Chains A and B, each alone.
Chain A
């Protein structure tokens, strides 16, 4: 119990994340542990905001073998980005693979620019031994807080991006159930943002520390521009987290 409490404290304090993108192991209920905590520390450099550090934490509850719910938060210092989210998931087993249907509500606060960004995302995530694929769609809304009084009569202060496609691809060098793994990913979203075009990519890993705890992480390159625009350095970051089941 003491060991569990310590691990739980480490996971929460060291902060974390998850929601499945960074942790590259299986998301399925293992038949024994209904509670999952993912915590991540992150840090990197962004062209607009400079250096940043942060943390994310996500709690997942497996209600049944098929249904789960989760809630998470993110704080990125210096970038002044604060996020919370809730998500519901249904898992459909397909032979040796799993197909997940995720419905998610996400709220980002970009405090540096007084912007709030609520997002609704629906996506399907297919998980095989070596490959995972996510496809979905987001409705993104952002609006400025504290608009000048004289603007209110003739200007809009919010904007909706109704068609933000979500796609992500990951590959592992070992089967997903292996005690350790190393892989590559390519996607147009991250744990707490969805982009229109910009594709971020990088290297990810996980390793088993004990029966209940895994270490995971990723090195993420987030370019600006895409396709006919030259991809230019925009943000690089590193994440390290703990995946804890109880």
Chain B
């Protein structure tokens, strides 16, 4: 009798478990910590992308160009290093500046500080690179006088492109982050004007890996090939592809723990980067420097530029040089700001 009852209970438990296993609602997220899951972030990002398709950003480079990469600034009340990164980029005429996530620690006032900083940096950027032609409109200094493209201030793209990090999404930080940057999963094309009048395309891919997984929606979109950029004959339209993602794949040092990606997702990413023919993938998250080449793809994991974690001046940024012939090199960039 007792055995029958026990078997019945076990059978019920098995059926319940099977039902749960097949249910999308099963998630430990509600048990451990509340926040905006990667699925929702990517869905919001895709919606934003579709609604702003006509505003898609194209960067234009005249032959050689450089860009600047920084990671894990963890802006609090002290935004010195973040300010320095933007100043360096402006001073040295980098085409764009990429940030690898954990841009600010999650507090509303820190994002207010960050937003003010970016507004001020944009103002300096516009002042250097544009001239005002009337009360409302600007023309790029690179634009020929014959047919200038007139832009209002809000239409000028400040070329600062971040990915979202895990510290950006805790305690509902996504609301703060997305209010400034809108999208956590996006791409940008760089049109490179070559000497012979020809041009080439370089590809920038920004992934949302803040949760230690890309999540089903993002993986499905990638598997559908939305970032592949292929011509009808199957060949890639891109000369170089650069990937920017928060969570690291490789361990910076022998004695440190490796990535938080699960086994399958690690192998999926390594394989996908190879399929995209990625020139260089940039990661952050672990606050330690690492460089390696795996299966033809170069991986750079950047140290944190946060004053709290690295109070002394140091080489916390990376500048990537893309030559007009397509060759890519990188060099460290020194930061002088000390912790206040």
Contact = CB atoms under 8 A, between A and B. Distances in A.
A233 interface: yes
A155 interface: yes
B158 to A, nearest CB: 29
Interface string A215-227: 1010101111110
B18 interface: yes
Interface stretch (A13-21, A56-64, A84-92, A235-243): A235-243
Contacts of A98: none
A148 B296 contact: yes
**Size class of the contact patch on chain B:** 35 or more
Interface stretch (A4-12, A30-38, A40-48): A40-48
A47 B261 CA distance: 12
A231 B257 contact: no
A232 B21 contact: no
Interface stretch (A66-74, A121-129, A193-201): A193-201
B225 to A, nearest CB: 16
A229 B211 contact: yes
A159 B210 CA distance: 23
Contacts of B22: 45
Contact of B21 (A43, A110, A162): A43
A118 B125 CA distance: 52
Interface string B243-269: 000010011001111111111111110
Given A45-B21, A198-B260, A224-B211, A159 B35 contact: no
B221 to A, nearest CB: 13
A230 B33 contact: yes
Given A229-B166, A231-B29, A240-B14, A110 B216 contact: no
A156 B293 contact: yes
B286 to A, nearest CB: 11
Contact of A115 (B32, B33, B267): B267
A154 B297 CA distance: 10
B166 A228 contact: yes
Given A48-B268, A156-B292, A219 B20 contact: yes
A110 B38 contact: no
A230 B166 contact: yes
A195 to B, nearest CB: 6
B170 interface: yes
Contacts of B267: 110, 112-113, 115, 142
A77 interface: no
A237 B22 CA distance: 8
Contacts of A217: 14, 17
Nearest to B265: A48
A122 B81 CA distance: 44
A28 to B, nearest CB: 24
B213 A225 contact: yes
Contact of B255 (A112, A163, A235): A163
B263 A193 contact: yes
A231 B256 contact: no
Contacts, number: 170
Contacts of A110: 263-264, 267
A236 B262 contact: no
Q: Point out which of A47, A165, A182, A219 has the most chain B C-beta atoms below 10 A from its C-beta.
A: A47
Contacts of A102: none
A144 B213 contact: no
A193 B263 CA distance: 8
Contact of A232 (B213, B257, B294, B295): B213
B270 A113 contact: yes
Give the one of A162, A164, A195, A229 with max B CB within 10 A: A229
A234 interface: yes
Contacts of B28: 201, 221, 223, 231, 233
B170 A230 contact: yes
B264 A196 contact: no
A213 B196 CA distance: 78
A65 interface: no
B212 interface: yes
Contacts of B263: 108, 110, 117, 193, 195
Contacts of A159: 250, 294
Given A162-B254, A230-B212, 16 more contacts: A46-B264, A113-B267, A115-B267, A155-B294, A156-B292, A156-B295, A163-B257, A196-B258, A226-B212, A228-B166, A229-B211, A229-B260, A231-B29, A232-B27, A232-B38, A236-B26
23 contacts: A45-B22, A47-B213, A47-B219, A49-B264, A79-B264, A113-B268, A147-B295, A148-B296, A150-B296, A156-B293, A157-B294, A161-B251, A161-B258, A163-B254, A180-B10, A197-B257, A197-B260, A221-B28, A225-B166, A225-B211, A230-B170, A232-B211, A238-B18
Interface of B: 6-7, 10, 13-14, 17-18, 20-22, 24, 26-29, 32-33, 35, 37-38, 166-167, 169-170, 210-216, 219, 247, 250-251, 254-268, 270-271, 292-297
